Structure 1
C-alpha cells in the first residue's frame, strides 16, 4: 500500500511539472488548458506573466479567485482555431471551449461554443506566459 501512495504522489508531481511555461507558445497554451481542466491553480499561477504575478500576490490568492470563478466546472474541452505570434514576443491563442457546471442540488448545465482569446508573452527567460483575459495590454492584431 505504501508503494502505491508513493507512486500516486510521484505521478501527481510529474503531471504538475508538465504544466509549466514552455519555450513555444503552443506548449504554454497546452499547459494553461491542462491546468484549467485539472483545476490545478498552482500550475496556472506559474504560467502568469511576472508582471501579473505581482498583481495577484500569491498562488493561494490565485487559487481562491480561480476556484470561485470556475466553481463546479468540469469536462473542459478546448478547440483552438489558431495559435500564432502576432508581434515579436506576443502570441494569441483563439478558439472555443466547452464545459459543464455541476453544482450539488442542481441539474448540470452545459456551456458550448464559449469563445476565448488568450494572450501569451515571451519573457526574458525565453518561455511563454499568459496574461489573464481582461488584463492584457492593448495591442493591434
Structure 2
C-alpha cells in the first residue's frame, strides 16, 4: 500500500510542478523579456540531471544502472537529443503562443505518437489508443 501512496504522491507533486514550470517559462520568455530559450532549457536539464543523480545515488529511490553496450548508449543519446529538441521547441513556442494553446497542442501528442509509430513499425495499437474520449469514460 505504501508504494501506491508514494506513486499517488509523485503524481500529485508532478501536476503543480509541471504547471509551475510552464507558467514560469511563459513569464520569462514573453512577459519578462528573457530572450534565451536554449539557455533556459539547458538550466532545466542541468537541474534535472543533478536532482536525478541525488535521487538515484544518495536517496536510493531507484537502483543505479550501467550502460551495457555501445548500442544502448547510442539509443539513449538519440532519445536525449530528441527530448532536448522537443523541450527547446516548446520553450521557443511559449514566446509566441498562449499557454492554453500550447497545452491544447500537447494533448494531441499521444494520438500522433500512435500514428507515427504505426508508420515506422507497421504495427497497429489497440483501438482505445486512437479514440478521442477517455477509455475510462462511460459509453453513451
TM-score in terms of structure 2 length: 0.26
Please say which structure displays the higher CA radius of gyration. Answer: 2
Larger fraction in helix: 2
Larger fraction in strand: 1
TM-score in terms of structure 1 length: 0.26
Larger RCO (alpha carbons 8 Å, 6+ apart): 2
